Amino acid sequence: MPHVVALVGLLLSAAGTTAPRQASAAASATPGPVDHATLTLYRTHCAACHGEGRLGVTGPALIPEQFERAKPAQLVTSILDGRPATQMAAFKDRLSRQQAEALVRLILTPLPVAPSFTIDDVKKSRAVPPDAAAAPAPKPVFAADPLNLFFVVELGDHHVTVLDGDKLEPLVRQKTRAALHGGIKYSPDGRFAWWVTRDGWITRYDVWGLKPLLEVRVGINTRNIAVSSDGKVIMAANALPRTLVALDAATLEPLKVIDVAGKDGTPSRVSAVYAAPPRSSFVAALKDVPEIWELPWGEDERAPVEGLVHDYRRDSGELGDAPRERFPVRRIGVDAVLDDFFFDAKYDNLLGASRSSDGGHVVNLVVGRTVAKVPLAGMPHLGAGIAWDRNGARVMATPNLKEGVISVLDTATWTEVGRIKTLGPGFFLRSHERSRYAFADVFFGPDKDKVHVIDKATLEIVATLQPAPGKTAAHTEFTKDGSKVLLSIWEDDGALVVYDAATLKELKRLPMKKPSGKYNVFNKIKFSEGTSH
């Protein structure tokens, strides 16, 4: 890997020009100068798993972008004590606290040149995991309804548990790479699943065979993936490097790596990528420039996209005699950087959250411009928004990461029709077409062990569940028929609690290790209005 060698050179030269710092018992582990002794420690103890260039091998990349949310003291503890349920061993018998702090200073020092992950790197990473099936199973290896399976992510020890959604019993517990984040994505027929880790590893999984099939790495710090509604393409959104990566969904061969930069050339991280089935396109939220990108996924990019009122490329004369190009980028300029999107049912409009505190912006994808602004409080978590019909209007509701409030908006007028006060900020909201209730957690603050049950007609909180006092309770998902709700007790010694969705009576508790998200195959592939997509 030539770029890794180059990076080691840059890393060494950067360290060499920096004055070594006096070691002291009080030295902090915040970023700062790094000396050659620390680089030697890194090479001796870390490089085999984390790579000479700190870009990750079997262990994750050790660069600041990877640890934006971690405190230096936590990283020191990870080095000295190891990380439970990962391959990260405890180094306290080999390293002093000062040495661990020096290593954390190195880890938190940016690389002099932004690391790259090229299409060749993607290709080379493609591999068959050791526990993979030789081929997809010709029929389900279980008797359960394949469309009523749940894939439950257990963050505690990096597993995905597949549950029979009728009996609510585990079928298999699949080991995954560390730090799986975001929803499990399914092929349109529910036959295959894909998931992605924060350090860019995508797994293709055989839902009938209950075995992994293939893996590929698409980046160093990946945000999420989306699957085209024909099931043929996966698009991955990266924060590092600043790229979108299109893959053949079946073979995980890279089709294209797209550098992401604004019209003026400013490189941008991608916040998230979404599939917009009626538009046959992917829509990407960019983190550093005020643009939204739309990329049609069809093979003949000059053919009109089905469902588009105007073919913007034909209208703008953009097509001309240009050669056919896969995944051409349509840039939609917006007034502010928008990340975290909610889409209306037809995917004509999206509501994007502006982090520059002027609330939500409604962008019409047909005409390609902002058509409304919505004064939303705090930091709405639009990706977790849900929709339903209320009093003859189509409404959507979004939880809020900063304030104890759920905003309810009319999606025709984009005006606020309700504001539900909760016990604190929350992460996730869930419902189902057949349920009168929506479930909202209170992820942050002292009431994190409570989950509100909201009547979708009156917008009132009709019950507050507290399945395990003192323990975080969050993220619900309904069974295919909407009759039961599964809720996580989000702790290492956690559980999945099953409730009757109408009576709210607890039916069952399945012990699990920090269960986070759970994804019902049917609800996901049918784009249920009560779940995120």
Note whether 182 binds ligand DHE by CB under 6 A: yes
Q: Which two tokens stand for residue 65?
A: 């972008």
CB of 124 to ligand DHE, least distance (A): 25
Per-position x/- string for 28-67, each x denoting binding to ligand DHE as judged by CB under 6 A, each - no binding: ----------------------------------------
Note whether 522 binds ligand DHE by CB under 6 A: no
CB of 427 to ligand DHE, least distance (A): 6
Contact 207, 521 (CB under 8 A): yes
Q: Which is nearer to ligand DHE, 53 or 515 (CB)?
A: 515
Note whether 424 binds ligand DHE by CB under 6 A: no
Note whether 516 binds ligand DHE by CB under 6 A: yes
- Reduce the DSSP state of residue 179 to 3 states and report it: coil
In terms of Cβ atoms closer than 10 Å to its own Cβ (0-12, 13-18, 19+), residue 412 is exposed
Q: Which is nearer to ligand DHE, 11 or 160 (CB)?
A: 160
Q: With contacts defined by CB under 6 A, name the span among 17-25, 180-188, 214-222, 290-298 that binds ligand DHE.
A: 180-188
CB of 276 to ligand DHE, least distance (A): 13
- Reduce the DSSP state of residue 19 to 3 states and report it: coil
297-356 positions binding ligand DHE, by CB under 6 A: none
Note whether 156 binds ligand DHE by CB under 6 A: no
CB of 371 to ligand DHE, least distance (A): 24
Contact 333, 312 (CB under 8 A): no
CA distance linking residue 220 with residue 199, whole number of Å:
5
Q: Which is nearer to ligand DHE, 117 or 274 (CB)?
A: 274
Selection from 471, 518, 475, 477 nearest residue 494 by Cα: 471
Note whether 515 binds ligand DHE by CB under 6 A: no
Contacts 24+ apart (CB under 8 A), 491-500: 491/156, 492/84, 492/156, 494/156, 494/468, 495/467, 495/468, 496/152, 496/163, 497/467, 497/473, 498/168, 499/465
Strand pairing partners for 473? 489
379-398 positions binding ligand DHE, by CB under 6 A: 383
Per CB under 6 A, the list member of 352, 424, 425, 517 interacting with ligand DHE is 517
Note whether 159 binds ligand DHE by CB under 6 A: no
Note whether 223 binds ligand DHE by CB under 6 A: yes
Note whether 427 binds ligand DHE by CB under 6 A: yes
Q: Which is nearer to ligand DHE, 217 or 514 (CB)?
A: 514
Q: Which is nearer to ligand DHE, 181 or 390 (CB)?
A: 181
Q: What is the sign, positive or negative, of the torsion defined by CA atoms of 433, 438, 443, 449?
A: negative
Query: What are the start-end ranges of the H helices in 84-196?
Result: 97-107, 119-125
Q: Which is nearer to ligand DHE, 78 or 224 (CB)?
A: 224
Find how far residue 188's CA is from the centre of its chain.
Answer: 19
Q: Which is nearer to ligand DHE, 280 or 516 (CB)?
A: 516
- Give the burial string for 235-266 (b: 16+ CB within 10 Å, else e): bbbbbbbbbbbbbebbebebbbbbebebeeee
Q: With contacts defined by CB under 6 A, name the span among 179-187, 212-220, 260-268, 309-317 that binds ligand DHE.
A: 179-187
Q: Which is nearer to ligand DHE, 312 or 443 (CB)?
A: 443
Q: Which is nearer to ligand DHE, 205 or 312 (CB)?
A: 205
Q: Residue 144 is which amino acid? A: A
- Reduce the DSSP state of residue 70 to 3 states and report it: coil
Footprint on this chain of ligand DHE (rule: CB under 6 A): 69, 155, 181-183, 223-224, 272, 383, 427-428, 475, 516-517, 532
